[in-house]
């Protein structure tokens, strides 16, 4: 990696954000290099993977990397600021969901179907509230997980390396996508924080096994099998624009190899992953209680309630809507993680009260990465931490493990 250059307020992005006084930067830090010089090595990331028609797209994200902390008080405002940094096509790709985006909107609207029921006069000391959770043997200081999200290079020149460092600042669990810009080996070395690896199985089982073996060798502690993206959707608007985003190499695939994700997934694949790696398997993308039961029967160590942030299939219910029936079916046999549509600490508490053990966050962290690099990621996590603690305090309990149906009601 090239020498890091200092970012100053002369940087146009930093200057404009500071002038708007919406995100209060806590100071300048180190900068990353251009994306082309970022440490995206081991597994042969190369332009040979990029469609010819996309190679002429201006890669306007290749800029000085920013590493700044700032105060976050609203994710919608954070998104507005990140939108000014993205190219229009990249923003549409990142922020939009599939089809008409009903599910994307429903993921956020559905939080309003549930009301918190504060419980007073319980003598709770705010600074002693315990947000810790244990997932698959890993004790974590809080329940906020960085969900697997592909191509972090679209957001910051240091890509997943910056995300890893930002997540590690608070001890967050980082879930690394097999569609990462950086290689899994480089990401594993970027921080000492806990990490899981997400896999899209390939039609070539031998190649899938190689990827899984690499993940274990790199030190990842669990494997996430995503089962809801067997046909990746895109929004009507993104299609109308001609899919106008920069195409980045995938750091975990050999140069020139076209990705061929398997669509005929079965519960036997869970068993295969466990046999190859010996690691716990998290089945991500479930919205039905019977699928959660089948995942457990197949040996899953955890399940993730998710509709892929509205990106896989439009017209499916919000994750919070289907969470409680799945929790009732699982009955604590394995941990439940929930993602899709989480924007506030109040959302986090509602999810935990309805049966989740932890929540996975995607787009908000990518907006933080875009605006502040590693420290931007940490800033977003701090936002969720602060608002979650405040909400738990109002619920009248001193630990998230005590949250339950008594603290939220369906309206």
Taking only the tens place, the pLDDT of each residue in 49-62 is 334 433 333 334 33
Taking only the tens place, the pLDDT of each residue in 122-149 is 999 999 999 999 999 999 999 999 999 9
Does the annotation mark 308 as catalytic? yes
Quick check: 371 and 85 in contact, CB under 8 A? yes
According to the model, what pLDDT value does residue 235 have?
82
Half-sphere exposure of 178 (CA within 13 A, CB side): 24
Residue 71 clears pLDDT 70, i.e. is over it: yes
**Top-ranked range on mean pLDDT: pick from 6-15, 120-129, 227-236:** 120-129
Cβ burial 269-304 (10 Å sphere, 16+ → b, else e): bbebbbebbebbbbbbbbbebebbbbbbebbbbbbb
Q: Residue 239: which pLDDT band, with cuts at 50, 70 and 90?
A: confident
Domain locations along the chain: 12-410
CA distance 354 to 159: 34
Taking only the tens place, the pLDDT of each residue in 11-24 is 333 333 332 333 43
Higher pLDDT, 273 or 233: 273
Q: What is 12-410's CATH topology?
A: TIM Barrel (3.20.20)
Mean pLDDT of 325-341: 98
| Nearest in space to 272 (alpha carbons), one of 231, 337, 225, 330 | 225
CA distance 158 to 262: 29
Sorted by sequence, the CB contacts under 8 Å of residue 80 that are 6+ apart come out as none
Residue 100 clears pLDDT 50, i.e. is over it: yes
According to the model, what pLDDT value does residue 232 have?
65
* Cβ neighbours of 377 (radius 10 Å): 35
According to the model, what pLDDT value does residue 66 have?
86
Q: Residue 317: which pLDDT band, with cuts at 50, 70 and 90?
A: very high
Q: Residue 230: which pLDDT band, with cuts at 50, 70 and 90?
A: confident
Q: Which of 152, 308, 385, 407 is catalytic?
A: 308
């Amino acid at each position: 990696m090239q020498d890091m250059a200092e970012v100053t307020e002369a940087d146009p992005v930093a200057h404009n954000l500071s002038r708007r006084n919406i995100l209060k930067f806590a100071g300048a830090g180190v900068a990353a290099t251009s994306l082309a010089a970022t440490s995206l090595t081991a597994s042969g990331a190369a332009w040979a993977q990029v469609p010819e028609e996309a190679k002429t797209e201006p890669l306007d994200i290749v800029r000085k990397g920013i590493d700044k902390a700032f105060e976050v008080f609203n994710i919608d405002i954070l998104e507005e600021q990140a939108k000014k940094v993205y190219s229009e096509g990249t923003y549409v790709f990142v922020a939009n969901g599939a089809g008409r985006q009903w599910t994307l909107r429903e993921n956020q609207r559905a939080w309003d179907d549930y009301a918190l029921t504060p419980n007073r006069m319980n003598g709770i000391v705010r600074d002693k509230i315990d947000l810790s959770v244990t997932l698959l043997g890993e004790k974590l200081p809080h329940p906020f997980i960085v969900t697997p999200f592909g191509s972090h290079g679209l957001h910051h020149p240091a890509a997943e390396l910056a995300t890893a460092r930002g997540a590690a600042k608070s001890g967050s669990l980082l879930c690394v996508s097999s569609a990462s810009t950086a290689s899994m080996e480089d990401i594993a070395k970027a921080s000492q924080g806990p990490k899981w690896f997400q896999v899209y199985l390939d039609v070539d089982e031998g190649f899938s096994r190689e990827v899984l073996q690499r993940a274990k060798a790199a030190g990842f502690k669990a494997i996430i099998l995503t089962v809801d993206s067997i046909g990746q959707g895109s929004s009507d608007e993104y299609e109308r624009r001609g899919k106008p985003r920069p195409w980045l190499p995938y750091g975990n695939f050999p140069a020139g190899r076209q990705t061929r994700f398997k669509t005929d997934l079965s519960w036997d694949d869970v068993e295969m992953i466990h046999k190859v790696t010996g690691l716990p398997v998290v089945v991500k993308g479930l919205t039905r209680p019977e699928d959660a039961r089948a995942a457990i029967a197949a040996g899953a160590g955890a399940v993730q309630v998710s509709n892929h942030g509205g990106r896989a299939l439009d017209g499916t219910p919000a994750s919070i809507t289907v969470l409680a029936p799945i929790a009732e079916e699982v009955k604590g046999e394995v941990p439940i993680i929930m993602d899709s549509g989480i924007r506030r600490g109040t959302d986090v508490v509602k999810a935990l009260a309805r049966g989740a053990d932890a929540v996975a966050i995607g787009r908000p962290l990518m907006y933080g990465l875009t605006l502040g690099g590693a420290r931007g990621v940490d800033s977003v996590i701090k936002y969720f931490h602060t608002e979650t603690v405040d909400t738990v305090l109002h619920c009248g309990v001193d630990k998230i493990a005590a949250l339950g149906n008594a603290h939220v009601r369906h309206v």
